[in-house]
Each structure stands twice: as structure tokens, then as C-alpha cells.
């Protein structure tokens, strides 16, 4: 039995069963998780836009066959489109092409920012992308308005049978979750942003598919805050909100872009924060039940420090492969250049990739 499992088991034994539904992950476990996931060595940029008029953002990494793949988004002034890249070593990435493009006269005409779904979430696992109904899936941020995350955004679902090909993914043709839904909550009735979906085969919450998403609502105290909330589904197409409150809420600024993994018996949510303290930075929270999350209160996992990320270092995607932790994130410099960088748990050298001067 490893140390994390032992400590978790010991804590659960001494807490009455009636309290376990609201259990807090104890500080020793949080410290162990931090030591396991921290990445103090910034390798540098691994993917940058081809011109200064474009911005690269929001990486999702998965394994398919013998190669690694990254879905990411490009903003070109009009809106988001989703692209695909390939790697053999998690450091050198080759762009393959576009997989979600602008369309005309659709609810998502000018915004299609995709994020891979149903990936193996086991820490140090295979990170293979899973199927449901003989299809691979992405959730995506969608909207019709031109501009940077402009207008009322919602969450769409897309699918493909070839996740390793630069071919257009099909969409449902309508939002799966919208700020205009009948079951809208106070925290997501303005607009909805990034999402992530896991396949929980144990149905911890009574449903196999669990989504975390960040959204903005008409909160009585702060209408600009973004919070992380939950939704569930039985078929990847029809979604309903879970609970009446967000699961991560700092009352102000942004808490968003969750990515879920499981370290032994502890669920870990990587996410970014912004403006509830200076800058934009990556954090994490832990849970035993996918509902109640204990927020890490120690040092940031990633924060601005280098020339290429001295404005923002945020939007995490964190995996462990062959003993090395890779923390991918969106790096923004003070000139507004935006690309994808990675930090690691061991020193593996420096990237020579630079933003265009």
C-alpha cells in the first residue's frame, strides 16, 4: 500500500460515516499530492502561432496508438477554431491541421474551441482517449458572435471516429449546455466557457459521464466572477446540471479550465485562477467524491516568471509519463503573444522555440 492510500484510509477510519459525504481532504494528503504533481522546471514553449495576429491556447493531450496528440485552439481575431498536433516525445510537436472550423448560420459559427473528452484519467496511466457509442468525443466552447470569447457562449459536443486525423469533427448542431437552458443556475446564466468530461464507470454520482465547466452568472455580489460547476449525462448528448452551487468559487476573478485526474484514491482537479490575487496562475483541488473539493492553499503550481509567460501562466493540462510530470499551460507575455508551454518535474533542458519578434 502506498503512502497516499494509507493516509487516506487512516483518515476515513476516524471520521464518522455520516460526515464522509462532506469530507475534507486532510492537509497531509494535500501536501503529498503537491509533492507528486509539482513541476518546478520550465522547459519553455512547445507550440507558438505562425504569426503575431494569431494566438494559440488551451492544450489537451492524449495518447493514440504509438503517438501523442494535442488538441489546441487558435484565435485569429474572428474567433476560435480547433487544431491537432502530433508528438513522439511530448516535447516536439508537429501541426497536423484543423479539426473544428468556422461555419455559417449555426449557433457555433464563429467559436469552436474543443477539449478532448473521455480520456484515461488515471495518474501515470495510459492517457488513451476512450470511446462511447463507437465514437471519440470532445466538448467545446461554442458561439456565433465574432471576437475574443464574445457574445453568449455555450457548450457543444463533437465526435469523430478518427481522433488522430486532421479531419472535421461532427457536432450535434445545438448547444448541450447553454445560459438559456430551463435549468440554468445563478452562477451560469450569463455565459459558459471551457469544459472537461470524464467517464466515471463506477457512476459515483449516479451517471457515467461527469463534466466540469466554468461559467459567469448574475451573482448578486460579483457579476464578473467565473466559477467551476458540474453537469452529468448518461449518453454524452443530453446533459443536466448537478447541484445548485459551483464546486470551486473564489467569489471574484476567474476560477476555470478544470482538468481531472486521479492519484490513487484522490481525485485531483487542476485549474487556473486569475484576479483573486495578482496575475493568472495554475492551482489544484482534491476530492474523494467528485463533489466536495478541498482547495490547495500553498504555492502555485505555475505562475508568471519567464519572458514568454510574464503576463499569464495558466490553463493547465497535467500528465505523468514514465516517471516525469508534464504540465502544459497557456503562456502569455506582456506583448500579448500567446502560446503553449510546458514545465516538468525534472530538468530536461530548455526549449529554443520563441515567439515571433
Question: Is residue 237 very low, low, confident or very high in pLDDT (cuts 50, 70, 90)?
Answer: very high
CATH code assigned at 267: 2.115.10.20
Question: Is residue 23 very low, low, confident or very high in pLDDT (cuts 50, 70, 90)?
Answer: confident
pLDDT of 22: 54
Provide the residue count of the chain.
357
Identify the domain containing residue 311 by its residue range. Answer: 3-344
* Alpha carbons 183 and 171: distance in angstroms, whole number: 22
- pLDDT, average across residues 204-218: 96
pLDDT of 87: 98
Residue 241 belongs to some domain of the structure: yes
Residue 357 belongs to some domain of the structure: no
- pLDDT, average across residues 36-49: 97
Please state the domain count of the chain: 1
- pLDDT, average across residues 85-91: 98
Whether the Cβ atoms of residue 351 and residue 44 lie closer than 8 Å to each other: yes
Question: Checking DSSP bridges between strand 135-143 and strand 154-160, what pairing results, if any?
Answer: antiparallel
Residue 98 belongs to some domain of the structure: yes
Residue 356 belongs to some domain of the structure: no
Whether the Cβ atoms of residue 284 and residue 270 lie closer than 8 Å to each other: yes
Question: In the predicted model, what is the mean pLDDT of the chain?
Answer: 93
Residue 324 has pLDDT above 50, yes or no: yes
- pLDDT, average across residues 243-258: 95
Question: Checking DSSP bridges between strand 170-171 and strand 154-160, what pairing results, if any?
Answer: antiparallel
- pLDDT, average across residues 20-49: 92
Helix, strand, or coil (residue 321): strand
Higher model confidence: residue 144 or residue 13?
Answer: 144
Burial class (CB in 10 A: 0-12, 13-18, 19+), 126: exposed
**pTM assigned to the model:** 0.93
What distances in angstroms separate CA 287 from CA 20, 24, 132, 195, 272, one per listed residue? 11, 7, 26, 18, 17
* Alpha carbons 28 and 3: distance in angstroms, whole number: 10
Residue 214 belongs to some domain of the structure: yes
Question: Is residue 2 very low, low, confident or very high in pLDDT (cuts 50, 70, 90)?
Answer: low
Whether the Cβ atoms of residue 283 and residue 303 lie closer than 8 Å to each other: no
* Alpha carbons 57 and 70: distance in angstroms, whole number: 11
Find all residues with CB under 8 Å of 297, minimum gap 6, and list them.
none
Residue-wise pLDDT for 150-197, tens only, equals 989 999 999 999 999 999 999 999 999 999 999 999 999 999 999 999
Residue 61 belongs to some domain of the structure: yes
- pLDDT, average across residues 98-125: 97
Residue 147 belongs to some domain of the structure: yes
Question: Is residue 51 very low, low, confident or very high in pLDDT (cuts 50, 70, 90)?
Answer: confident
Residue 354 belongs to some domain of the structure: no
Provide DSSP, 64-91: ETTEEEEEEEEE-SS-EEEEEEEESSSS
pLDDT of 13: 44
Amino acid at each position: 500500500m502506498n503512502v497516499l492510500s494509507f493516509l487516506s484510509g487512516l483518515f476515513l477510519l476516524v471520521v464518522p460515516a455520516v460526515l464522509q459525504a462532506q469530507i475534507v481532504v486532510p492537509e497531509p494528503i494535500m501536501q503529498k499530492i503537491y509533492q507528486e504533481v509539482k513541476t518546478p522546471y520550465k522547459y519553455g514553449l512547445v507550440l507558438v502561432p505562425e504569426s503575431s495576429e494569431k494566438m494559440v491556447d488551451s492544450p489537451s493531450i492524449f495518447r493514440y496508438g504509438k503517438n501523442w496528440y494535442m488538441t489546441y485552439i487558435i484565435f485569429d481575431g474572428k474567433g476560435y477554431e480547433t487544431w491537432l498536433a502530433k508528438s513522439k516525445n511530448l516535447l516536439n510537436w508537429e501541426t497536423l491541421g484543423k479539426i473544428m472550423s468556422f461555419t455559417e448560420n449555426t449557433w457555433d459559427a464563429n467559436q469552436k474551441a474543443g477539449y478532448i473528452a473521455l480520456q484515461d484519467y488515471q495518474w501515470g496511466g495510459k492517457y488513451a482517449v476512450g470511446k462511447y457509442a463507437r465514437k471519440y468525443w470532445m466538448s467545446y466552447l461554442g458561439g456565433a458572435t465574432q471576437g475574443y470569447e464574445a457574445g453568449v457562449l455555450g457548450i457543444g459536443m463533437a465526435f469523430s471516429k478518427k481522433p488522430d486525423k486532421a479531419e472535421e469533427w461532427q457536432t450535434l448542431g445545438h448547444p448541450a449546455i447553454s445560459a438559456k437552458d430551463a435549468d440554468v443556475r445563478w452562477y451560469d446564466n450569463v455565459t459558459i466557457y471551457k469544459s472537461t468530461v470524464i467517464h466515471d464507470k463506477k457512476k459515483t454520482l449516479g451517471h457515467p459521464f461527469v463534466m466540469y465547466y466554468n461559467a459567469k452568472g448574475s451573482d448578486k455580489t460579483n457579476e464578473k466572477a467565473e466559477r467551476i460547476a458540474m453537469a452529468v449525462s448518461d449518453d454524452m448528448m443530453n446533459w443536466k446540471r448537478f447541484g445548485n452551487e459551483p464546486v470551486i468559487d473564489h467569489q471574484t476573478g476567474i476560477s476555470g479550465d478544470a482538468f481531472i485526474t486521479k492519484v490513487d484514491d484522490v481525485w485531483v482537479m487542476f485549474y487556473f485562477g486569475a484576479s483573486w490575487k495578482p496575475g493568472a496562475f495554475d492551482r489544484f483541488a482534491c476530492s474523494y467524491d467528485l463533489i466536495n473539493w478541498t482547495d490547495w492553499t500553498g504555492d502555485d503550481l505555475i505562475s508568471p516568471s519567464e519572458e514568454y509567460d510574464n503576463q499569464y501562466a495558466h490553463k493547465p493540462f497535467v500528465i505523468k509519463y514514465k516517471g516525469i510530470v508534464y504540465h502544459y499551460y497557456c503562456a502569455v507575455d506582456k506583448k500579448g503573444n500567446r502560446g503553449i508551454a510546458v514545465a516538468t518535474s525534472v530538468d530536461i533542458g530548455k526549449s529554443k522555440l520563441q515567439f515571433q519578434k
